[in-house]
Amino acid sequence: MSNLSLYNQAFPSRLLLGTAAYPIAEILRRSIETARPAMITVSLRRQSTAGETHGQGFWNLLQDLNIPILPNTAGCQSVQEAVTTAQMAREVFETDWIKLELIGDDDTLQPDVFQLVEAARILIGDGFKVLPYCTEDLIACRRLLDAGCQALMPWAAPIGTGLGVVHEYALKVLRERLPDTPLIIDAGLGLPSQAAQVMEWGFDAVLLNTAVSRSGHPVDMARAFAAATEAGRLAFEAEPVQPRTQAQASTPTVGQPFWHSAEY
């Protein structure tokens, strides 16, 4: 399986994992060690499900895992808020990578693609490697590429729903029309089979959080998603047979010992 390439940097895995909402820190650690993702996402604002603020112990855990960190701007609703959060994250995590989230609707957590383009342009001008969380809208994605983004993160479904791919046609069109752009499916996947499916379509990676952290057994689910993501990519690179409506024998008909007449 080929490596994932983002902003001219190679990653051995095509799975990215979030770090929010795990029951305890030990399960988070074991899940990440099991999946060995390309990157792990973190937020300056995040708190644990127990209500305890993640302090030095959490940061020590992330450093011990030795996995590249992808800070995000989760919860931001304006360009200035997103830009300021990204700049703060760069200081805290000492990285120019940023997952740019700019939410336009509180119920669906749908990205505000208009403000997203503006924020992306500012951050790229400031030297960030921007991975924007966006919809599957082709025109909005083109505007993000025009702003300087070298990779995109379209959603499969609203964050945390586990619905899988809601708009299959739009995602397939996006993949077809942007063949040279790394596309990472971010948000909405609930099952490993859904991750395998989008990878078979030619998407470059998947990013997960809720599907793993809120499952009954996060460590096992992390392992399952890692295997499914790899299997899907291997299947894509193996060039699957094209579906057809008519049956086609897999064994040769030449040299059959018996001849079956069409007349009865």
Q: Are 67 and 37 in contact (CB under 8 A)?
A: yes
Write the CB contacts of 232 (distance below 8 Å, at least 6 apart in sequence).
195, 196, 197, 198, 199, 200
Tens of pLDDT along 187-239?
999 999 999 999 999 999 999 999 999 999 999 999 999 999 999 999 999 99
Is 187 one of the annotated binding-site residues? Answer: yes
Query: What does the block give as tokens for 220?
Result: 């096992």
Domain boundaries, the chain: 13-238
Q: What does the alpha-carbon distance between residue 208 and residue 119 come to, in Å, rounded to a whole number?
A: 23
Place of tokens 């989760």: 74
Share of the chain above pLDDT 70, in %: 91
In this structure, which topology does domain 13-238 adopt according to CATH?
A: TIM Barrel (3.20.20)
Tens of pLDDT along 200-212?
999 999 999 999 9
Model pTM above 0.85: yes
Is 195 one of the annotated binding-site residues? Answer: no
**Catalytic: which of 40, 42, 97, 99?**
99
Query: What does the block give as tokens for 222?
Result: 């992390």
Is 188 one of the annotated binding-site residues? Answer: yes
Concerning whether 172 is annotated as a catalytic residue, the answer is no
